[in-house]
């Protein structure tokens, strides 16, 4: 079989290696805006500082969309929407790889506390309320505890990460071990 059309998507292990090498996958003690504690934090802009790794990640995610016939058939007449400013580098990279026509991002006002997947859900609602259909959702990393679809639109991801979230400081292993905590945002 000819190599035509065969495009490899790096394995989750290879993606994790990139995220570790660039410092985007951080280990320690993190407190999220919703009050939950974890031992890991994905600071994705750190991986997107480097053109080469940004390109590998964005192209890989774009391939997840391209192999979906329903999505591929709509290209390039689609818009890429980031649910937050932190996702803008990802959205730009994916837009470039898909030759998508437009790019948007949602801004958060009022400091509402929310989970990343809720930010995506809110963005989906916003876009639909404006009369546009959602044909795909994607993330570099999806927590396995997060939904794998939003209203029937599956979330494509390069890594499925089984993160342990502690509901409170009382339940947190890192708190008990006196590991200095860092407050982070989604
Ligand atoms: Zn803690």
In a domain, 20, yes or no: no
Average pLDDT over residues 150-175: 94
In a domain, 74, yes or no: yes
pLDDT in tens, 9-41: 999 999 999 999 999 999 999 998 889 999 999
Q: Note the pLDDT of residue 165.
A: 94
Whole-number Å distance, alpha carbon 141 to ligand 1 midpoint, is 22
For residue 48, give its domain range.
42-162
In a domain, 60, yes or no: yes
Whole-number Å distance, alpha carbon 27 to ligand 1 midpoint, is 13
Please check the confidence at residue 109 and state whether its pLDDT lies above 90.
no
In a domain, 48, yes or no: yes
Q: Is 159 helix (H, G, I), strand (E, B) or coil?
A: strand
Whole-number Å distance, alpha carbon 184 to ligand 1 midpoint, is 12
Res. 168 pLDDT band, cuts 50 70 90: very high
In a domain, 76, yes or no: yes
Res. 47 pLDDT band, cuts 50 70 90: very high
As beta bridge partners, residue 168 has none
CATH number of the domain bearing residue 123: 3.40.50.2020
Q: Note the pLDDT of residue 183.
A: 94
In a domain, 169, yes or no: no
Report the chain's mean pLDDT, rounded to a whole number: 88
Which residue, among 100, 142, 143, 150, has the nearest Cα to 125 in the 3D structure?
Answer: 150
In a domain, 49, yes or no: yes
Whole-number Å distance, alpha carbon 20 to ligand 1 midpoint, is 22
The larger pLDDT score, comparing residue 40 to residue 115, is at 40
Whole-number Å distance, alpha carbon 104 to ligand 1 midpoint, is 35
Total domains in the fold of the chain: 1
Which residue, among 18, 12, 2, 6, has the nearest Cα to 63 in the 3D structure?
Answer: 6
Whole-number Å distance, alpha carbon 40 to ligand 1 midpoint, is 11
* Portion of the chain with pLDDT greater than 90, in percent: 68
In a domain, 21, yes or no: no
Please check the confidence at residue 125 and state whether its pLDDT lies above 50.
yes
Whole-number Å distance, alpha carbon 30 to ligand 1 midpoint, is 7
Please check the confidence at residue 106 and state whether its pLDDT lies above 70.
yes
């Amino acid at each position: 079989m000819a190599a035509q059309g065969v495009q490899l998507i790096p394995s989750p292990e290879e993606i994790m290696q990139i995220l570790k090498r660039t410092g985007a996958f951080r280990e320690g003690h993190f407190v999220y805006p919703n009050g939950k504690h974890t031992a890991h934090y994905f600071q994705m802009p750190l991986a997107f500082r480097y053109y080469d790794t940004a390109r590998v990640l964005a192209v890989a995610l774009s391939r997840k969309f391209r192999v979906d016939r329903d999505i591929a058939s709509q290209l390039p007449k689609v818009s890429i929407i980031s649910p937050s400013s932190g996702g803008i580098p990802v959205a730009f990279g994916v837009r470039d790889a898909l030759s998508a026509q437009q790019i948007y991002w949602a801004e958060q006002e009022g400091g509402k506390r929310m989970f990343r997947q809720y930010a995506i859900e809110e963005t989906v609602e916003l876009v639909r309320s404006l009369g546009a259909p959602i044909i795909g959702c994607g993330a570099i990393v999806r927590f396995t505890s997060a939904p794998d679809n939003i209203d029937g639109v599956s979330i494509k991801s390069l890594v499925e990460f089984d993160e342990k979230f502690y509901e409170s400081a009382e339940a947190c292993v890192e708190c008990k071990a006196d590991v200095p905590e860092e407050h982070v945002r989604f």
